Structure 1
């Protein structure tokens, strides 16, 4: 990210997301999504290798397909409402929601850590807020996609040993929860996305300290304090009570207007995700004791981010009684 042209593309990616969030018509939304895609693709060339070119092509094709479906259905919707449902489906394709997630795991597997983190977090903001601008009757038709995403994200990560694959399927599951919170009367979606980005940022800060892929080497930090923070942050991402990730899912369940079947699918998917995250972090949490904690001499950046995430819990408590 030291190159000036990458700073320019990063600026385009950020401003295009703001353009989508403040858009008042479909044409401006489509333009913002296209600029967002074109601004992110050069950032994928982090080390400028051949594999990154292949990964960029795998990302470009479904994104271009989603944009084509979106603008075509928007033009047809001016004269007929028959194809208007394709517009949120096109956004779900760009978002990587199941069962339209076929491009998401291969792209995540071939990206360096920083572009993969941007794809997990910032690149979700524009499509999800584009979906939230649709009419409530149209959004109700894509609630099955929210249920499938939550279930598939939970089931798909059970046999995964690569930390990138775990974060990928966890992102698919969280996408289902984001879609379920769109119809909520409170600002649930904004709180959920903000909390998810903060928790994922904390995981990213821990992973930048070591280049490991297997879960067996994931907690092999020099300082045991970092291993403990990473384990707690991963459990918060999975939604273990009483961590922050649990309260943001509880907030969605409290405000969502989805049917009982959709709600039960969300809970079942979250329980499955919690199962393999508990098996992942059970050993490092047991091996951590008070003696190891006393050996820590300084607070790392990941610790600061962890405390920042913990401070967001009172906000959720304040919003929860409001309806």
Structure 2
């Protein structure tokens, strides 16, 4: 960050998330969401270009609309309980869940790499945990949104060549899985979000070394070993066994209380997502036998930590349950 004041906005974004997590009433939740939004918008201006200003406006309008719907329905719910169903719908709009995701792909396409990954990870925490604090009857009403998000995230990623677009539709699909895990009797949602953030950070660490967008350019690196690590991370995000992403989806399927049709939609969306993830990583995985790894490179600390991040959470989650 070029400007020191952005550290303050980063601090506001982090503190406001904890404010939402610890709030005991809707007014405090709404204030935390607003501070979170206002703290994230200045972080979008890394290069201070005109396109970033346009992207910030595209982000501000639906976020402000979702906050307005949320606080209005919270106040009107004092007189009519029927209007409470608008509150989780407003949070789904802030999350970018389908079919309320109209703002999410354009914003992701115009953001620099670091703010884009903040939007994919940290900015999901406050709205999803705000939804988890609702009454179970309200959460049940948004389960169709979870099914639509999983299906749309799988279908929308087909024929995409931009790595940002792939991660965008993958995020929409994972949002559906997060919504389906809210009613679980165990802390499945917390584990799912932590694992998703861990895998996404791994992808960010692989992409931050370069400034390419097309997946063909991403996997045509000078070092084939970097392409192999990136392919493993993307397959983990898709939920391919036995990687970490597979177990977090397996936990949702085991503990969720969603109806069968919702569960089937989640599985169908995951299978569709896996289709284009496999096509994306097909070339670097087939060229594995052509790679000549140096012993020192294979045993480097960064490589060991990367591989452990994709496998160790499996053991931790199994021992926890």
TM > 0.5 between the two?
Answer: yes
Q: Is the 8 A contact 1:206 1:302 kept in 2?
A: no
- Could you tell me how far apart the structure 2 residues matched to 1:103 and 1:306 are? 34
Residue 112 (1) aligns with residue 112 (2): yes
1:293 Cα deviation from its structure 2 partner: 2.3
Structure 2 equivalent of residue 304 of structure 1: 305
Pairwise CA RMSD: 1.3
Cross-structure match for 1:205: 205
1:314 aligns with 315
Matched, 1:133 2:107: no
Residue 58 of structure 1: aligned partner: 58
TM-superposed CA distance for 1:312, in Å, is: 0.9
CA distance in 1, matches of 2:216, 2:296: 22
Indicate the residue corresponding to 1:193 in structure 2. Answer: 193
Shift of 1:308: 2.3
**What is the SS of the residue equivalent to 2:83?**
coil
Question: 2 CA distance for matches of 1:305 and 1:295?
Answer: 16
Residue equivalent to 1:250: 250
SS of alignment partner, residue 217 of structure 2: coil
Unaligned runs of 5+ in 2: none
| 1:4 CA drift (Å) | 1.4
TM-score by length of 1: 0.96
Asked if the contact 1:6–1:43 (Cα under 8 Å) also holds between the matched residues in 2, the reply is: yes
Deviation at 1:110?
Answer: 0.2
SS at match of 1:230: helix
Q: Please say if residues 202 and 302 of structure 1, whose CA atoms lie closer than 8 Å, have aligned partners that are also in contact.
A: no
Mapped partners of 2:101, 2:234: distance in 1? 22
Shift of 1:159: 1.1
Q: How does 1:92-241 map to 2 (within 5 A)?
A: 92-241=92-241
How many correspondences in the alignment? 320
Q: Is there any run of 5+ residues in structure 1 with no aligned partner, and where?
A: none
State the Cα distance separating 1:9 from its structure 2 match: 0.3
Q: Which has the higher helix share?
A: 2
